[in-house]
């Protein structure tokens, strides 16, 4: 399995943040149960021993923080897209481009850590609670953009749900198929849905 690597740089994130980044990558690839502290230390290149200093709450704390960190990272991608152009279709493209690259670069081994936190939440209730908040926030960010583009609130919420659901699902289908084809086809359909909703709102 090819892992996406976190490249430590002199002015990059410090060891604590690198550990969170490594945790979210490994969770996405392998799931929470299969991700150990040792693997996170090795993957992040952080000094052994420091993980207990930074995460006194143990793996539960690390996994919860990694889920929230992933939530923030995608929220920032969406915020950056909005800054360039307050266009919901461009925001879809930003997220699809993110996953297209991550899947390709990982040789289709990558996965979404927020899905891992959802599916394995029986043993990590704090991570599942974080996953719930993250999914709600992502849907809401799309819904807000669509409302600013004139789409009525209920419809904007539905579109927010399908935008997140379909891309999350397509990433899994793409992983299964070892090809981004499902992601590309879903992107086409989301374009169409968003364009039509915005056009309808303008008429």
> In whole angstroms, how close is the CB of 6 to a second copy at the nearest point?
20
Residue with smaller CB distance to a second copy, 46 or 167: 167
> In whole angstroms, how close is the CB of 186 to a second copy at the nearest point?
5
Distances (CA, A) of 141 to 38, 160, 188, 203: 35, 8, 20, 24
Residue with smaller CB distance to a second copy, 44 or 174: 174
Residue with smaller CB distance to a second copy, 47 or 178: 178
> In whole angstroms, how close is the CB of 103 to a second copy at the nearest point?
12
Query: 191, 89 in Cβ contact below 8 A?
Result: yes
Which runs of consecutive H residues, i.e. helices, occur in the chain? 15-30, 37-44, 50-54, 58-84, 88-105, 113-119, 125-148, 153-177, 181-202
| CA–CA separation, 195 and 140 (whole Å) | 18
Residue with smaller CB distance to a second copy, 20 or 171: 171
> In whole angstroms, how close is the CB of 128 to a second copy at the nearest point?
7
> In whole angstroms, how close is the CB of 75 to a second copy at the nearest point?
16
Closest CA to 189 of 157, 152, 162, 161: 162
Binding site for a second copy (CB under 8 A): 1, 30-31, 33-34, 109, 111, 114-122, 128, 131-132, 135-136, 139, 157-159, 161-162, 164-170, 172-173, 175-178, 181-182, 185-186, 188-190, 192-193, 196
SS3 of residue 132 by DSSP? helix
Residue with smaller CB distance to a second copy, 94 or 158: 158
Closest CA to 63 of 18, 127, 133: 127
């Amino acid at each position: 399995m090819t892992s996406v690597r976190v490249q430590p740089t002199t002015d990059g994130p410090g060891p604590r943040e690198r550990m969170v980044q490594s945790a979210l990558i490994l969770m996405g690839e392998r799931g929470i149960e299969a991700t150990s502290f040792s693997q996170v230390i090795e993957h992040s290149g952080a000094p052994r021993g420091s993980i207990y200093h930074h995460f006194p709450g143990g793996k539960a704390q690390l996994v919860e923080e990694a889920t929230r960190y992933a939530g923030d990272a995608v929220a920032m991608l969406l915020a950056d897209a909005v800054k360039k152009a307050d266009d919901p279709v461009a925001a879809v493209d930003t997220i699809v481009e993110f996953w297209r690259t991550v899947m390709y670069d990982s040789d289709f081994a990558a996965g979404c850590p927020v899905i891992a936190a959802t599916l394995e939440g029986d043993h990590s209730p704090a991570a599942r609670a974080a996953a719930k908040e993250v999914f709600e926030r992502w849907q809401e960010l799309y819904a807000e953009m669509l409302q600013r583009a004139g789409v009525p609130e209920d419809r904007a919420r539905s579109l927010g749900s399908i935008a997140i659901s379909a891309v999350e699902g397509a990433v899994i289908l793409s992983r299964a198929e070892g090809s981004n084809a499902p992601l590309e086809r879903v992107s086409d359909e989301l374009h169409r849905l968003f364009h039509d909703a915005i056009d309808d709102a303008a008429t």
